[in-house]
Structure 1
Amino acid sequence: MTRTVDDVNVGSLLRGWRKLRRVTQLELALKADSSARHISFIETGRSTPSRSMVLHLAEQLDVPMRDRNALLLAAGYAPSYPETPLTAPAMTALRAGLDQLLTAYEPHPALVMDGMYDVVAANRGVQALLDGVADHLLQPPMNAMRLTLHPQGLAPRIGNLGEWRAHLLERMERQAALRSSEALHGLYEEVAAYPVPAGATSSGPAVPACGHGPAAHPYALPLRIEAGGRVLSFISTVTTFNTPMDVTVSELAVETFLPADTETATALRTAR
């Protein structure tokens, strides 16, 4: 689901976010300690919200930081949050910290992605999974979703491709809706249209890893992937920054892959 707005006045934008969050004017008013009448006046343009009111309403609607800037601009105010390129000198400490984190996580795979799932950093554990991937998928910016689901990417080696593909597509669709991102929705449409590689199933039971079936990991869906002649099994976690004050930082996510069984843990240790 995506949001389409014909103009850029702050009232229509706020109305779009309110409807996207499935909140009534009265519910938003109660959350914002305002009145439904005032919310209605803002949405129809009869009242111009203050800068603090724009940010307050955006907070109640859980509007992403990038779009909070867009709301401020539409209301005639300067953006509140900077967007600093990750390569900027001001980000040196952040880059060093992320590199240290990724290195410490080895030999387990770990990577950092931006809001479009482009990989901005990865460790050697990820590199070890990329054998056989087509060169065009490895060109920067390397996109994690294309890399995983493209028939010339990791997809042919994912034993439970049907389950993992469904998980990734649902994750992307949810993020596209929460962020109201046309670009992310376009990426979703692209990867969802990729053909399922020959020999792989689009649905059905997962291929067991090291003799264990799907029921071996009832607490989380594992990624089962062939690498180095073995089927490795991973549980992924995604970490974001708790209190970002920059658009770039707010959209970064660190994804790490934990061994889901002792065989995978052993294989990673012996491969170092």
Structure 2
Amino acid sequence: MPNNQTVDLAAVKQRIGKVGVWLSLLGQESAERSRRAAATIEELGYGALWIAELLGGKESLVNSAILLTGTERLVVATGIANIYARDAAAAVSGANALAEASGGRFVLGLGVSHAPLVAPRGHDYGKPVETMRTYLDAMDKAPYDAPLPEPPARVLAALRTRMLRLAAERAQGAHTYFVTPEHTARAREILGPGSLLVPEQAVVLSTGPDRARAIARDYMAFYLKLPNYLNSLREMGWTDDDFAGGGSDALVDAIVAWGDPETIAGRVRAHHEAGADHVCVQPLARDLDECSDHLHQLAPVLLA
């Protein structure tokens, strides 16, 4: 962003509100269906929509533009834009253009992703913190000569101490994923009081333990193969025994909130009480229709 412009973090917090939605499905849907889904999320009262960038799915900044054109108030945020998918100058110009065109309704979430997801792009996976720092240096030097009334906020995907510190120093805060309220408390301590902290919370709207945990384990299987998440969990006291067999019941219940709407709302409150500014809930649904149904059921308790 231009050196003479700073982000109004209080305004960003007000725009995104206390609760948002995290979805990966929108990267694989038609533009028309994605716009309708985003409009529904806006109508329900959620403050922000966080979207994934999947290999083989829609490019995240283009997808953000699609979703912004289908909404009027909803903030769209990348959760996250993979820094290996575009150079720093492209990230600056794309994010600034989206912020200007949407009236400040865009947040740029950046992350180093994971080695298995970077190699297919033809890149070597570098040391995460050093790679991100170099990328941010290049962003800060990138020119941007188009109108920009207000620069977009940027947050870093961060789990462990060094990346969280970098998020506090070089961004407006951190977006944490696959975490517990205990991790949120630790992240807040590292970030300090002035940074934005946005944890993701996966949820299953089911009161049956066997069914809920089966859905949760199916979701968690991919992440329990990625070293970045395993190292973060180990740092929080979880062991290899917890990772075996799709995850121990204790780990599954810690990562995925399941039960009735009030129980899930209790987990979201726990993140807020631990220091989160905004929690983005991810319904573990089969499709957009089921996801929309779950968000309808959750809205009265999450947004009260």
Query: Considering the TM-score relative to the shorter chain, is it more than 0.5?
Result: no
Bigger Rg over Cα: 1
Which has the larger share of strand? 2
Which has the larger share of helix? 2
TM-score by length of 2: 0.25
